[in-house]
Structure 1
Amino acid sequence: MTQQRKKKLYFTIVFIAVGLLAFQVSLSKLVGSNVNFTLFDAFGPITAAFLGTLPGIIALIFIQGINFLIHGAQVIDAGTVIRFFPMLFAALYFARKTKWNIIIPLLAMLAFNLHPIGRSAWYYSLYWLIPVAMYFLQNKYLLARSLGATFTAHAVGGAAWVWAFGLSKEIWTGLIPVVAFERAMFAVGIAVMYVLVNNLVHALMAEKAKEANLGLEPKYLYKKI
């Protein structure tokens, strides 16, 4: 194993540990399930931006898998399973600009509207045009990148949710203002977390980060590299 890979493995382990801690801080509960949003929803999307797409996705799988085991390895409902996947797509979006940042939310819109209840509340899926729009701004504005990531997670989760739970047209309609506030907060949280982690890693482990080729962005550092 090369020195760079050793350093990257070190940071991957650190990110997994921090992700597990973030998972334990509950923020709000999902409608229709016993699953909670946690601080991990702000931390998770940034992992692939630092570690690289594949290592970041693998780290997220480990974090969610270990957290699942910590909490008794019990599938409470379909929501427990569904919640495993949206974060992976959020991380994929946030990591870099690719055509999948457009394709994934559009596929989610299609899947949502193929369900009879989803089709009756079709306007709810218009939220998922946000990551498509943010695609064109994500390399310029951190908040656009964060909005795209959190709404990609929302798109994947929402499309799966309507098929797993159905809910009702009234519930989906009632969620519209809740989603606006919730996702705005998550986008801000992701952006703040990204800047914070950039600066913490640079301040505490700059040399190791350089050796590991960690994805620090100089423009978000208080003290430039």
Structure 2
Amino acid sequence: MSFLKKSYRTIACALITQLLGTFSISPILGTNFLSFNLTHALTPLTGFFGNGIHIVVAYMVHTAITGLYGSIGFNLFNHMPTFCGALFLATDSRFLKASISTLCIVMFLLHPIGRECAFYTLYWIPPLIISFLPRSPLFIQALGSTLTTHAVGSILWIYSHNTTVAFWQTLMCCVWIERLLFALVLAGSSYALHISIPFLKKIVSSKQLRSKLCPTGS
């Protein structure tokens, strides 16, 4: 498949997931105006349709379009976690996959508040392990992706907001439910797409064949 064709598919997937942003899943603790939605859950899905370069292209196009009705700087910040989650699925580099979580763990522990709740970084150990597994089932890949997204998002949050140890302790108790849900949604959607795409191709091919055999007006 050509680079351009893969890029189109990746960008289309990113734009479709953006349209799903109106469907909220759960509020983001610590804020009264942001919530997790289907966009956050499904944007890493683009990683199944291309390599790292395609993800970068899709990320830049997606940010530029959303920047038309908001701050480009905010959108770069807001979509960075899901970009890293998509990159986890797209790249074959074990080093790159593992380095994202490793860097997040180090940065979290370097923060004064993060140092006091080092236990929170346990959530980012699974992506490290998954990075070095030779062949992982779809759900395991999705879990590694969503936990990578969580790691990057947590770093951006702790360095941009005034948080407390109690805040991270509260999150520790509920993050696992949220991430399991996201992984299930991501894996289920990927499986559904892989099944439906060949089926849709057959429908399109049969319609094209029918139009050639029975042209209108003949």
TM-score category of the 2 structures, normalised to the smaller one? 0.7 to 0.9
Aligned-partner Cα distance in 1 for 2:6–2:75? 30
1:39 aligns with 2:34: no
Q: Which runs of 5+ in 2 are unaligned?
A: 205-218
CA contact (8 A) 2:101 2:125 kept: yes
Shift of 1:31: 1.7
Aligned-partner Cα distance in 2 for 1:6–1:134? 30
CA contact (8 A) 2:14 2:46 kept: no
User: 5 Å matches for 1:4-83?
Assistant: 4=2, 7-8=5-6, 10-33=8-31, 34-69=33-68, 72-74=69-71, 82-83=77-78
Aligned-partner Cα distance in 2 for 1:144–1:136? 12
Aligned-partner Cα distance in 1 for 2:160–2:134? 31
The equivalent residue for 2:90 is 95
Shift of 1:38: 1.5
| 1:87-134: CA deviation from partner (whole Å, max 9, x where unpaired) | 111011111332111111011011011111111111111111110122
Shift of 1:188: 0.9
The equivalent residue for 2:122 is 126
Aligned-partner Cα distance in 2 for 1:81–1:4? 28
Shift of 1:206: 6.3
111-120 vs 53-62, which moves further? 53-62
| 1:159-197: CA deviation from partner (whole Å, max 9, x where unpaired) | 121111131000100111210100011111111111111
The equivalent residue for 2:139 is 143
1:160 aligns with 2:156: yes
CA contact (8 A) 1:42 1:193 kept: no
What TM-score does the superposition give when structure 2 sets the normalisation length?
A: 0.81
Aligned-partner Cα distance in 1 for 2:203–2:97? 32
Aligned-partner Cα distance in 2 for 1:113–1:174? 18
Q: Which runs of 5+ in 1 are unaligned?
A: 209-225
**Which one-letter code corresponds to 2:49 in the other structure?**
F
CA contact (8 A) 2:142 2:187 kept: yes
55-64 vs 115-124, which moves further? 55-64
Aligned residues: percent identity? Answer: 28
CA contact (8 A) 1:44 1:60 kept: no
1:41 to 1:202, Cα distance in 2 relative to 1, 3 A: farther
Equivalenced residue count is 202
Shift of 1:137: 3.5
What TM-score does the superposition give when structure 1 sets the normalisation length?
A: 0.79
199-208 vs 133-142, which moves further? 199-208
1:61 to 1:178, Cα distance in 2 relative to 1, 3 A: farther
The equivalent residue for 1:84 is 79
CA contact (8 A) 2:116 2:165 kept: yes
CA contact (8 A) 1:42 1:190 kept: yes
20-29 vs 3-12, which moves further? 3-12
Shift of 1:25: 2.0
Which one scores higher on RCO, CA 8 angstroms, separation ≥ 6?
1
Aligned-partner Cα distance in 2 for 1:13–1:159? 26
Segments ≥4 residues shifted beyond 4 Å: 78-81
1:165 to 1:79, Cα distance in 2 relative to 1, 3 A: farther
CA contact (8 A) 2:67 2:75 kept: no
The equivalent residue for 1:220 is none
Across the aligned residues of Structure 1 and Structure 2, the Cα RMSD in angstroms comes to: 2.6
